[in-house]
Structure 1
Amino acid sequence: MSNAVLPPHPSISTHIPLGDAVRARPQHRAQIIAVTSGKGGVGKTFVSANLAAALTRHGLKVLVLDADLGLANLDVVLNLFPKITLHDVFTGKASLEDAVLPAPGGFSVILAGSGMIEYSHLTPEVRSKFLEVVETMAPRFDVVLLDTGAGISDVVLFSVSMANEVMIVATPEPTSLTDAYAAIKVLTTQQKRQHMRLVINQAVRPGDGRAITGQLQQVLNRFVTTESGQPMRLIHMGDIPADPAVRESVMRRQLLLQSTPGCAAALAVAQLANKIKAMLVA
């Protein structure tokens, strides 16, 4: 892990115990990881859901919070039909505890309602309630994955601001990489991030992601400086290869790690989970 430790949200502790040790120490708080992207359609929610299943297999207690307010699709990926969503919690129609649902793969989810135009801009009231949700859930889990929307809207930026770590999902396509760079630049400037993590989805050739990370790092070295005066450090977390099994699992609304656990993409997600666990231990 980088020596440049990311300053978390002021209300979030950096203490990150694991497994049984977590449950033995009631003051623990989850490691909160924002899974985000500069461009939509790059497989961000697919990564969030399957990564959660892979981390659960390590014995970690994982929550995926659908932070894509208004355009949520985590329920579609997991084939869930929620009666209670974050919208109900925000409006006082239901309790937060009732919104926490079990998901395939053994982890928990809190789903957001879709098509809610009132969440296209973040009001102070929604901001406060959103933060309260994360603060309430953090002590109950080992890892909280925030499946954010794409881009740099105020909703996305606020969602990411609550995370200790930021993981950008991108594809090798030029438009995805351009938008990923834009998101990294904004997050560095506005949130004083010292490092971020990058996952390349739909990689065509082995080594694509490491080469892309190197290219982006060169651009960041020239044009994006952190508060400390050092370049933003981009950490390559791995590649998920283009795999027909991914599309099949999405069409069937199944987790790839359950439907085709031995395929190349599923093995890559498992390797990503290994790196995340090592990061938590560090």
Structure 2
Amino acid sequence: MKATEMSDAPSTPTTQSAQEPLALGTAAGAHVIAVTSGKGGVGKTFISANLAAALTRHGLKVLVLDADLGLANLDVVLNLHPKITLHDVFTGRASLEEAVIEAPGGFSVLLAGSGMVEYSRLTPEVRNQFINVLQTLTPRFDVVLLDTGAGISDVVLFSVSLAAEVLIVATPEPTSLTDAYAAIKVLATQQKRQHLRLVVNQAARAGDGRAITSQLQQVLNRFVTTDSGRPVRLLHLGDIPADNAVREAVMRRQLLLQGAPGSPASLAVAQLANKIQATLLS
């Protein structure tokens, strides 16, 4: 990757949803971490679920909130069939306590219903309901992972704005990296993020993630500057190696940490949890 701006990256929105982060978790107990990506299909939800299981093994009380409103699939990854979802909470048909359920791996989840067009755009009502839900839940957990949608839509950017820390998931493919750059650029310029963390999924070789992070950082140094005058800092959090055990776990709708705990990808997720524990939660 050369240090030339990726001109085919999506344009950056200027809506209020992309403004400075609210970072609710910084003052309300739980550490709120958004897991997001520029492109769909990079394994973001898979990483969210397995990372939650790994953090739970550290003795932490963890919640994964499915923030991909309208296109949720956390229930599929975990083989859950919820009777109550976030949609029921928003419409008043069920309480928040009823909607939070335990997932395999010992962590809690709040699932969003899929295919709901009304949540594809950010309205003041959806915004307020989402904030209220998160403000209610954060005092009850040590860590809240927001499994957001992909891209830079209003809904995605609003979800990310609620987190104190952001994990960008990307794969080594050029389209994924281009879209990751676009997301990082928006988060740096619109949300005033000074640093973000990168997880490279499906890495072919050891060291790929650090090389990719360095290449993206060079582009950011040249083309993206925050209000402070400093370029956004992209921190390499870790790599998840390409591993056939991942596909098998996804097809079985099973957590990788439970189905193949000794696989390379499972061990890499455990290392991610260790690093998060040491750097973000200490």
Q: TM-score, normalised by structure 2?
A: 0.91
CA distance, structure 1, for counterparts of residue 246 and residue 24 of structure 2: 34
Amino acid in the other structure paired with 1:236: H
1:165-184 alignment, distance < 5 Å:
165-184=165-184
CA positional deviation for 1:13: 5.5
The alpha carbon displacement at 1:279 in A equals: 1.7
Which residue of the partner structure matches residue 11 of structure 2? Answer: none
Amino acid at match of 1:122: L
Task: Report deviation, 1:189.
Answer: 1.2
Preserved contact between residue 152 and residue 186 of structure 2 (Cα < 8 Å): yes
For the residues of structure 1 that align with 2:142 and 2:59, how far apart are their CA atoms?
10
Could you report, residue by residue, the CA deviation over 1:41-91 in whole angstroms, capped at 9, with x for unpaired residues? 000000000000000000000000000000000000000000000000111
Contact 2:220-2:232 at 8 Å conserved across structures = yes
Unpaired stretches in structure 1, ≥5 consecutive residues: 1-7, 16-27
Secondary structure of the 1:201 match is strand
Of all paired residues, the percent bearing the same amino acid is 80
1 CA distance for matches of 2:241 and 2:23? 37
Identify the residue that residue 98 of structure 1 maps to in structure 2.
98
Partner of 1:14: 26
For residue 188 of structure 2, what is the aligned residue in structure 1?
A: 188
Instruction: Specify the code of the residue in structure 2 equivalent to 1:225.
Output: T
List runs of 5+ in structure 2 lacking aligned partners: 1-19
Q: Secondary structure at the match of 2:190?
A: helix
Question: Which deviations, in whole Å up to 9, do the C-alpha atoms of 1:220-264 show, x marking residues without a partner?
Answer: 000111121101000000000000000000000000000000000
Other-structure match for 2:13: none
Letter in 2 for 1:14: T
Aligned residue for 1:124? 124
Report the Cα distance in structure 2 between the residues aligned to 1:10 and 1:75, rounded to whole angstroms. 27
| 2:213 aligned residue | 213
Match for residue 274 of structure 2?
Answer: 274
Distance across 1 between alignment mates of 2:38 and 2:78: 23
- TM-score, normalised to structure 1, is 0.91
Deviation at 1:14, TM superposition (A): 3.0
For the residue of structure 1 that corresponds to 2:29, the secondary structure is: coil
Q: How many residues end up aligned between the 2 structures?
A: 263
**Correspondence for 1:231:** 231
- Alignment correspondent of 2:197: 197
